[in-house]
Structure 1
Amino acid sequence: MSTAATVKPGRSSRAMQPETRAFAYGMIGVPLLLVVALVGCYGHQSGGAFALLAARNAMLLTGAPGAGIGGFCANILMSLAAMCVSLVTGVLLCVGTVAQTRWIRFIALGIVNLLRNTPWLIALYAMLYLLPFYVPVFGVVIPFSPFVKAVAGLSLPVTANVAEAMRGGIEAIPSGQWESARALGYRKNQILRYVIVPQAIPFIMPNMMTVFAMLFIGSSLAVVTGTSDVLSVANTITASDGSHYATAVQMYVLLLFFLFAFPIATLARRLERQMREKS
């Protein structure tokens, strides 16, 4: 017993090395690669590019002063809001895909397939033109800002991906769990709630993290709605300071997205590997 106990930690630590090594290489190598590319692009004018990035860093991160939350923080908030909406709607859609009633299951699967195959840019444009600028409700005017339209547009395809991730986690549970619960007198909704879903969560989490990383990267498309996101701020900087350092600004935006999304994707791969080892 003591030998087995000493062997398992060694195996676990060795198995963790690929993700740890990839994370270290990525977090160090990619910024260095971008710095080398920037120096190679601008040569002796690289100092001016770095000076511009240092001067405009706060604006790229938080938006223009006095304009509310914008820049990279707007992309983060937009992604979190869209993910929260997608979790709620995705759960409802997932319940429909596993429903016993055939027509409910057929409609839910049709919606999932439609949303999953809808280009994100089309969904954003649809929300931009379909949603009004404001809606009066009992004398109270509720505005639909570009931020709200962007969240709605991003939530559409992500809802389908969330529903599929949940359905995949539920289907990963052996059918014997269903049969055993039925033998104990549980109804289907009780089986899902108390037996299947708690076991499916470890299978769902890696896919959810991958979906969120994908959503965060896709939030860059929200610039078409007029949201004051990081790309909109980058375009403003390019217009005001000249296009000479536009490449440097876009490289910095690329670095920001990478530094946020890459750790999430790496952790998702690690969790997925752990699930495979346990199974």
Structure 2
Amino acid sequence: MTGRPLAVLLPVASPAPRSFPKLTLVHCVGIVGALALVGGAAHAQGAPAAPSAFEVIFKWSPLLLQGFLFNVAISLLAMTLGTVAGLALGLAQIGTNRPLARVAWAATQFFRNAPWLVLLFFAMFMIPFQFRIFGYVIPFPDWVKAVIGFSLPVMANVSEILRGAVRSLPSGQWEAAESLAFSRRQTLWRIILPQCVKRMLPPWMNLYSLVTMATVQASIVGVSEMLTLTSEVHAAEGGRPELLAPLYGFAMLCFFLYCYPIGRLTQRLERRFNVKS
């Protein structure tokens, strides 16, 4: 039997493993970028993105700066009114009329040590909203009451500044003027008060900085100044919590940029006049 050689069954060759391309940094950046584009497009189609804090401040900055200028106007008016009244009260303190001097001293101590916010509330609620004079109705807006409320502590502090400046001068100034036959009024207006100006100027400027920063308290009684407008802007932007710090930080920055140069100038005047306030 002639036999044929049997066929040898060879093992089935396994297919060669496929090699996947290696992921490089460029590929990873491309994938992340594509995902970001797709996600951004989907978010844009779904709902509009909320503006950032910088965009909100830039958008409302004209209104907020208007409110800040109103704060400055209130501080200037209160400082002017309080300085005039304070000089009169201070002159009454150092006057020769004893009953008047005691009344002036008591008024100075009362308004100087009373809380500013309480004085502001008294001015708001004790002063009428309008006056009737000879049949004419004269309105009295809230910001005018705020000016009066802030001018009361200014008056008391200016009175004390004047009294301290006059008492700080050597008594020889009065004696020399008396030896030259000057009257008390002439001595006061021609010799004493001109020397008091440089002593009063640094503390007066410090007082103005305090008044400017205190004008934000007018927002509590309904005056539309910068802090009130900041709260309204925050409400207009949906009351987003993340906008609180930037908006009020912008208000703080405005007051700092305005008051810091005043403080530096005060220090410069103190060094120039060699006067410690």
Deviation at 1:204, TM superposition (A): 0.8
**Aligned residue number for residue 273 of structure 1:** 271
**Aligned residue number for residue 53 of structure 1:** 57
Cα separation, 1, equivalents of 2:142 and 2:104: 29
Name the stretch that deviates more: 154-163 or 96-105.
96-105
8 Å CA contact 2:199–2:275 kept in 1: the answer is: no
Structure 2 residue 174 is matched with structure 1 residue 170: no
Q: What amino acid does structure 2 have at the position aligned with 1:145?
A: P
Q: What amino acid does structure 1 have at the position aligned with 2:151?
A: S
Deviation at 1:172, TM superposition (A): 2.0
**Aligned residue number for residue 252 of structure 1:** 250
Cα separation, 2, equivalents of 1:154 and 1:46: 40
Instruction: Kindly provide the CA deviation profile for residues 201-260 of structure 1, in whole angstroms up to 9, marking residues without a partner as x.
Output: 011111110110111011111112211100110011011112321221000000011111
Deviation at 1:180, TM superposition (A): 0.6
Indicate the SS of the match to 1:243.
coil
Cα separation, 2, equivalents of 1:213 and 1:277: 18
8 Å CA contact 2:209–2:263 kept in 1: the answer is: yes
**Aligned residue number for residue 262 of structure 1:** 260
**Aligned residue number for residue 107 of structure 1:** 103
Q: TM-score, normalised by structure 1?
A: 0.78
8 Å CA contact 1:206–1:268 kept in 2: the answer is: yes
Cα separation, 1, equivalents of 2:114 and 2:147: 16
Instruction: Kindly provide the CA deviation profile for residues 1-36 of structure 1, in whole angstroms up to 9, marking residues without a partner as x.
Output: xxxxxxxxxxxxxxxxxxxxxxxxxxxxxxxxxxxx
Q: What amino acid does structure 2 have at the position aligned with 1:112?
A: T
8 Å CA contact 2:120–2:149 kept in 1: the answer is: yes
Cα separation, 2, equivalents of 1:131 and 1:101: 31
Q: What amino acid does structure 2 have at the position aligned with 1:272?
A: E
Counterparts of 1:1-279 in structure 2, within 5 Å, are 48-62=52-66, 71-244=67-240, 245-276=243-274
CA separation of 1:46/1:166 partners in 2, compared to 1, >3 Å: closer, same or farther? farther
Cα separation, 2, equivalents of 1:74 and 1:83: 14
Indicate the SS of the match to 2:274.
helix
Cα separation, 2, equivalents of 1:176 and 1:47: 69
Instruction: Kindly provide the CA deviation profile for residues 246-275 of structure 1, in whole angstroms up to 9, marking residues without a partner as x.
Output: 221000000011111111111112211222
Q: What amino acid does structure 1 have at the position aligned with 2:191?
A: V
Segments of 4+ moved more than 4 angstroms: none
Q: What is the alpha-carbon root mean square deviation over aligned residues? A: 1.7
Cα separation, 1, equivalents of 2:227 and 2:275: 40
Q: What amino acid does structure 1 have at the position aligned with 2:210?
A: M
Indicate the SS of the match to 2:223.
coil
Cα separation, 1, equivalents of 2:107 and 2:234: 41
Name the stretch that deviates more: 221-230 or 193-202.
221-230
CA separation of 1:277/1:193 partners in 2, compared to 1, >3 Å: closer, same or farther? closer
Indicate the SS of the match to 1:201.
helix
Indicate the SS of the match to 2:95.
coil
Cα separation, 1, equivalents of 2:227 and 2:220: 10
8 Å CA contact 1:149–1:225 kept in 2: the answer is: no
Cα separation, 2, equivalents of 1:46 and 1:275: 54
Cα separation, 2, equivalents of 1:174 and 1:157: 28
8 Å CA contact 2:112–2:156 kept in 1: the answer is: yes
Deviation at 1:277, TM superposition (A): 7.2
Indicate the SS of the match to 1:198.
helix
How many residue pairs are counted as aligned between the two chains?
A: 226
